[in-house]
Amino acid sequence: MIKKTLIAFILGGFFCLELSAETITIGNDNWKPYQCENFKHGGILPHIVTQAFAVEAIDVDNQWAPWKRVISYVKSGRWDVVNSVIKNQERDDFLLFTDPIMTYEPYLFHLKSNPLEFNKMSDLSGKVVGTKRGYYYGERFKNAVKSRQVSLEEETHHEQNFKKLLADRIQLVIIDKEAAFNLLQEQFTESELNAITFHPTPIQSLDIHLGISKNIESSQRLVTSFNRGLKVLKESGKLDQMWRDYESGAYQSEE
């Protein structure tokens, strides 16, 4: 009896181990309204990522930190994945990229009292643009900064950029449109909000991906697993439902 019980216990232990899911650590930066540590499921983007990996029986441990620290931790392999990252040549050195999760379009915000004519990057000559530290806004903007067509001032949070814009210390803020409206409505007065507008032409249209650290052995497998899971979410209609929930404000309900 004892032997049979022991064998059953051992086999049961192996069975439980076999069923236990792999867990990966994903670094996230607070980027309202798409993702925030206090949002339900962490927001639309972390929820998509968690659900896509769940299809492949992979659990997600979401961690939160400022953007530059997230990148540093994933680059070193301390964390496995960075959420909501744009592909560029520098990041190619230490990240593998999944299929796109969404499209990101940064716009130029300015004071209504200081109209902006913008068709080409040289139109920004002589203007100072407020950016978020560590963010990438596409090769077009990067090259304009490198060639000194554009001057920039970096801040950890866009709130500081908009304060500087309102004080006429900078002329432009480059930021996603929905993120800008969310921030302005939360942190600024109605009169301040009404003083600001944006140019209707985005700087560039860019894809948002997951970035998997090349410093972990399972990097290519995780890319494949996520892409499969994302495809299942799309084909099942669940992804569309999640975006409808986002549009209704459902993800912000736990804040």
Question: pLDDT in tens for each of the 255 residues of the chain?
Answer: 333 333 343 344 444 444 447 999 999 999 999 999 999 999 999 999 999 999 999 999 999 999 999 999 999 999 999 999 999 999 999 999 999 999 999 999 999 999 999 999 999 998 999 999 889 999 999 999 999 888 999 998 999 999 999 999 999 999 999 999 999 999 999 999 999 999 999 999 999 999 999 999 999 999 999 999 999 999 999 999 999 999 999 998 654
Longest Cα–Cα distance of the chain, Å, equals: 87
Give the pLDDT score at 43: 97
At 82, the amino acid letter reads V
Q: How many residues belong to the chain?
A: 255
Give the pLDDT score at 254: 53
- Indicate the domain borders of the chain: 21-103+207-254, 106-198
Q: In CATH terms, are 21-103+207-254 and 106-198 the same topology?
A: yes
Query: Domain 106-198 maps to which CATH number in 3.40.190.10, 3.40.1000.10, 3.40.50.11930, 3.40.1390.20?
Result: 3.40.190.10
Give the pLDDT score at 178: 94
Q: Which DSSP state fits 254?
A: G
Q: Which CATH architecture has domain 21-103+207-254?
A: 3-Layer(aba) Sandwich (3.40)
CA distance 67 to 72: 9
Give the pLDDT score at 253: 66
Peptide bond before residue 33 is cis, with ω within 30 degrees of 0: yes
Q: Which residues contact 59 (CB under 8 A, 6 or more apart)?
A: 21, 22, 23, 24, 53
Give the pLDDT score at 252: 87
Q: What is the pTM of this model?
A: 0.85
The H-or-E segment that residue 211 falls in is strand 206-213
